[in-house]
Amino acid sequence: MARAVAASELLQQRLMSLHAAEFTTLDITMAQAKLLYVLVASGELTMSETARQLGVTLSTASGAVEHLVGLGLVNRSEDPSNRRQVLVSVTDAGAETLEQMREMSTAHLRMLFDRVTDEDLALIERATNILADAASAAQRSVK
C-alpha cells in the first residue's frame, strides 16, 4: 500500500505543477477553493458548520467567507428560523469557478492520456474504477 500511496502523491505533485500557472489566474487561494468545494458538496451550511468542515476557527472561516462574498462566489444570509445563525452558500459564479478548476484538471489528464499507450490506458481505467468503487464503499460506511 505504501508504494501505491507514494505513486499517488507523486502524480498529485506533478499535476499541481501543471495546474500552477492556470490556477494563479483565479482570484482565490487554495483555502478559499477548499471552502467552495465544501459548499458545493454540502449545500448551504451555517457558519459554524462551515468552520467545522474546514477544520478552522469560526473567525478564520468568517474571513474566508467574507472574501468570497466580495468576489461574488459565496452568499451569506440570516437563517430565517434562527436569526443568530448565518447561512453560507455558493453562488452560480462560485460553482462556475470550481467547474473551471475541474476542467483544468480534466484538460491536463487528457494531455497526459495522449502520451500513454492504449494498453496502459486500459490499466489506468481499471485502476480508476477500482478506486471509484472503494470511494463509494467508504462514503456508504461514513453515512
Residues 6+ away with beta carbon under 8 Å from 62: 47, 51
d(Cα 73, Cα 3) in Å, to the nearest integer?
A: 39
Residues with Cβ < 8 Å from 34, sequence gap 6 or more?
Answer: 54
- Letter for the amino acid at 81? S
26 pLDDT more than 70:
yes
Q: Report the predicted TM-score, pTM, of the whole model to 2 decimal places.
A: 0.70
> Which tops the pLDDT comparison, 28 or 75?
75
Q: Is the pLDDT of residue 45 over 90?
A: yes
| Domain harbouring 59, CATH code | 1.10.10.10
| Structural contact between residues 46 and 87, judged by C-beta atoms closer than 8 angstroms | yes
Average of pLDDT values for 115-140?
Answer: 94
Confirm if 102 and 23 have CB atoms less than 8 A apart: no
Query: How many folded domains does the chain comprise?
Result: 1
- Residue 137 confidence class, pLDDT cut points 50, 70, 90: very high
Residues 24-40: what's their mean pLDDT? 84
Give the pLDDT of residue 143.
Answer: 63
**Per the domain annotation, does 139 fall within a domain?**
no
37, part of any domain: yes
